[in-house]
Amino acid sequence: MAELAFSEAEYRGRQSEFLGQIPSDSLVLIPTNPHANRSNDVHYPFRASSYMLYLCGWNEPGAVLMSHYDSGAWTTSLFVQPRDTKTEIWEGRRVGTEGAASGWPIDEARSLEDLEKTVAEHFEACKQIHLIPGLNPRLDEMVNSAVNSKSRDSNTKDIGPTSLSDPSSILDEMRVRKSDREIQLMQESADIASAAHVATMRAAYADIGEWQVQAVIEGHFTASKSRWSYPTIVGGGDNATILHYNANNAVIAGGELVLVDAGSEVEGYASDITRTWPVNGRFSDAQREIYELVLRAQMAGIEACQAGSPWSAMHHATSNVLAQGLIDLGILDYSLEDALGEDFDGPYRNYFMHGTGHLLGLDVHDVGGGRQGDDGPGRELGPGMVLTVEPGLYFGSWRTDVEIPERYSGIGVRIEDDVLITEGGPVVLTSDCPKTIDEIEALVGSDR
């Protein structure tokens, strides 16, 4: 096989676990992402769909993975861009059908030029189509018209597909628990991101630009043959109180905190780290009070990441610490019970507006859900799951919806680590990234 992220046996095992849950009178179609257009004739860097990476590791645009059942077994075909020297001179070398057939964990490789004809032939032999929609408009259209058409053949001879479904929930469930090799790749991604955060702390100084912090982070990703797994957030001062801030174009004054939320990816697997620190290397008393509270909440959240606990356990653990801390600092004038409110939706949420974490994997907000729902405590945590623990407190001076205490106005703090659930307790994959006040004060600006 080509230099793929996983062994052929691991890819084949995933395919058979997946197809084992699909009725044999089905045709299965898994397209990858298109090569997205940026403007005019320029494209964004290509990133394959996570399902395609998961099932066979194919990393070129436009491909379609097709499985059909025949003579007692599933056959999996991959439709790929064929070799084409004139196009390759401009766009880069292609693996092509022969390369795909010999190097990838599939039964046969075909040219995308034959996709429509081949798929149409297979329609006749199947009753159900399982397609991940929204990725390949031409395929969506073909499949919809095949399922909806009332042809003479389908009316009189009962030929052709009659139902269409999206198989992604089966794959999502499989992706929730990571294999040993997946965990290894996620550890590599966590190590790169940890080192990148350390590098930015070392390189910081008063009046540094948010974009310069971003450059150090992303420069480290690139130098490590990695790239970001989501757009880097660098928010100085008040900008840290905007959860998905990414303008990254303001100067961070000495005395202000900067919140850096950035992660890399390795073979498609994401890391996701947030650190918050003073650009001049010294926490003020007010900053220290909020930071220590968020850190205590985060440690309590990590401790709650135990196999067998409900998903909601870590959110409840962080919420308890934050609400009590807000009372102790005089920010909330309530009993703990009232500050937490019914269903953990009380006034402490004025300053902590998001969830405590999410699953992490091939997607940064990974599939498989898990969050606390209206009707229960959410997914049970189990070995092999990787999730983030990321409480925060935000006191945007610009807020008009709630009262912002003067002492803490303009402070936003979030601390985020990536945690692997094991039978022996939580393992912090991002533990190489310092987060205590002493460690941070020693690091920030130490390159200068």
- Residue with Cβ nearer Mn ion (388 or 430): 388
Q: How many residues bind Mn ion (CB under 5 A)?
A: 2
Catalytic residue among 60, 188, 363, 390: 390
For the record, the structure tokens of 147 come out as 């399922």
**Catalytic residue status for 218:** no
Please report, as residue ranges, which positions from 325 to 384 form the binding site for Mn ion (by CB under 5 A): none
Task: Say how many C-beta atoms besides its own lie within 10 A of residue 100's C-beta.
Answer: 26
- Residue with Cβ nearer Mn ion (60 or 265): 265
* Distance in angstroms (rounded) separating the CA atoms of residues 359 and 368: 8
Please identify which residue in the block is written with the tokens 């969830």: 355
Pinpoint the alpha helices (H) of 133-265. 137-148, 152-157, 168-176, 180-203, 210-223
From 129-137, 160-168, 268-276, 315-323, span contacting Mn ion (CB under 5 A): 268-276
| Site map (CB under 5 A) of Mn ion, residues 100-139, x = contact | ----------------------------------------
Catalytic residue among 122, 275, 358, 379: 358
From 1-9, 47-55, 299-307, 385-393, span contacting Mn ion (CB under 5 A): 385-393
Catalytic residue among 365, 380, 403, 406: 365
Catalytic residue among 238, 394, 417, 418: 394
Out of 191, 272, 366, 418, the residue judged to bind Mn ion by CB under 5 A: 272
Catalytic residue among 202, 227, 282, 354: 354
* Distance in angstroms (rounded) separating the CA atoms of residues 85 and 392: 53
Q: How many C-alpha atoms does 20 have within 13 Å on its Cβ side?
A: 7
From 62-70, 132-140, 235-243, 269-277, span contacting Mn ion (CB under 5 A): 269-277
Q: Is 388 in the site for Mn ion (CB under 5 A)?
A: yes
**Catalytic residue status for 267:** no
**Catalytic residue status for 41:** yes
State whether the Cα torsion 89-90-92-98 is positive or negative: negative
Smallest gap, in angstroms, from Cβ of residue 388 to Mn ion?
4
Smallest gap, in angstroms, from Cβ of residue 416 to Mn ion?
5
**Catalytic residue status for 130:** no
Smallest gap, in angstroms, from Cβ of residue 45 to Mn ion?
22
State whether the Cα torsion 164-364-221-245 is positive or negative: positive
- Residue with Cβ nearer Mn ion (28 or 262): 262
Q: Is 298 in the site for Mn ion (CB under 5 A)?
A: no
- Residue with Cβ nearer Mn ion (182 or 272): 272
| Closest C-alpha among 213, 172, 214, 221 to residue 195 | 221
* Distance in angstroms (rounded) separating the CA atoms of residues 407 and 141: 58
**Catalytic residue status for 14:** no
For the record, the structure tokens of 389 come out as 């623990």
List the beta bridge partners of residue 236: 258
- Residue with Cβ nearer Mn ion (319 or 388): 388
Q: Is 226 in the site for Mn ion (CB under 5 A)?
A: no
**Catalytic residue status for 272:** yes
134 phi, psi to nearest 5 deg: 90, 0
Interhelix angle 180-203/210-223, rounded to 10 degrees, is 140
From 33-41, 54-62, 293-301, 387-395, span contacting Mn ion (CB under 5 A): 387-395
**Catalytic residue status for 390:** yes
Can you spell out the DSSP letters for 232-298? Answer: -EEEEGGGGGSTT-----SEE-TT-EEEEEE-EEETTEE--EEEEEETTS---HHHHHHHHHHHHHH
C-alpha distances out from residue 6 to 49, 152, 214, 321, Å: 16, 46, 31, 41
Which residues are annotated as catalytic?
41, 244, 261, 272, 354, 358, 365, 390, 394, 414, 416
Residues contributing to the site for Mn ion (CB under 5 A): 272, 388
